[in-house]
Amino acid sequence: MSTPALILAAGKGSRMGTPKALLNSGNQPWWQTQLSRLRDALIDSIWVLSPEVHAIIGAGSLAPANIVLSDSARPMFASICAGIDSLRVDPPRGIYILPIDVPASRHHALWLSLQHSSVPAAPTFQGKRGHPIYLPWSWITSTLDPVLARAGDLDLLRLDELLKPCALEIPVNDPVIACNLNTPEDFGRFLESPASDPHA
């Protein structure tokens, strides 16, 4: 995989009442919708799942090809680390970070625009920062790895705080990058919006 997206889907989904990957997005579960959106954008993906979610979606013929397990009781940063660790033997040029509750942009050019940066990059829409976040592998080894080595408790680290002093913001023309589907109401509004239409 040249530049894979780490799809962070190991959370319990407490505010949703169910893990977000398993939400019903019409005629299929949300993880299948996300996988379809990523394929439309020509983006390979690595799915970071809890064992509980993996037990439901990991055995089917439609399941993502690349799955990494992470503990649902730990913060999102633990899932990021699990995904990165899975790539260390044969690291890519960089990776994207995409939480499961942010709809994947279908626009390949948007994803590619982030790769032109030699530092971490985040898309913005009308001034609001969103996802995917692009992390060059050179930044992971030169900046993130030393932080991990010094940290006493990895669960106290947050990627957004580490990126504050260095992330490049790139304006894009796709509102879904700034969507955050935290609640059933958020999810319902997104499904009713034009942005959810696969033919839009």
Tens digit of each residue's pLDDT (9 = 90 or more) over 20-45: 999 988 889 999 999 999 999 999 99
pLDDT band at 1 (very low <50, low <70, confident <90, very high): low
pLDDT 10s digits, 118-142: 899 999 999 999 999 999 999 999 9
pLDDT value, residue 43: 97
From the number of C-beta atoms within 10 Å of its C-beta (0-12, 13-18, 19+), residue 109 rates as: exposed
Measured between alpha carbons, how far is residue 174 from residues 11, 179, 196 in Å? 26, 10, 12
pLDDT value, residue 200: 55
Residue with more model confidence, 80 or 11: 80
Measured between alpha carbons, how far is residue 108 from residues 69, 75, 112, 172, 177 in Å? 27, 29, 6, 12, 13
Handedness of CA 123, 84, 8, 106 (dihedral sign): positive
Amino acid, res. 133:
I
From the number of C-beta atoms within 10 Å of its C-beta (0-12, 13-18, 19+), residue 164 rates as: exposed
Mean pLDDT (whole number) for 106-115: 95
Beta bridge partners of 128: 125
Q: Provide the percentage of residues in the chain whose pLDDT is more than 90.
A: 74
pLDDT band at 149 (very low <50, low <70, confident <90, very high): very high
pLDDT-wise least confident of 62-76, 157-171, 185-199: 185-199
Mean pLDDT (whole number) for 144-165: 93
pLDDT value, residue 60: 73
Structural domain boundaries enclosing 155: 5-196
Two structure tokens written together for 138:
């050179």
Dihedral, 83, 89, 93, 95 alpha carbons, nearest 10: 0
pLDDT value, residue 90: 95
DSSP 42: T
pLDDT band at 199 (very low <50, low <70, confident <90, very high): low
CATH number at residue 128: 3.90.550.10
SS3 at position 106:
coil
Considering its fold, how many domains does the chain have in total?
A: 1
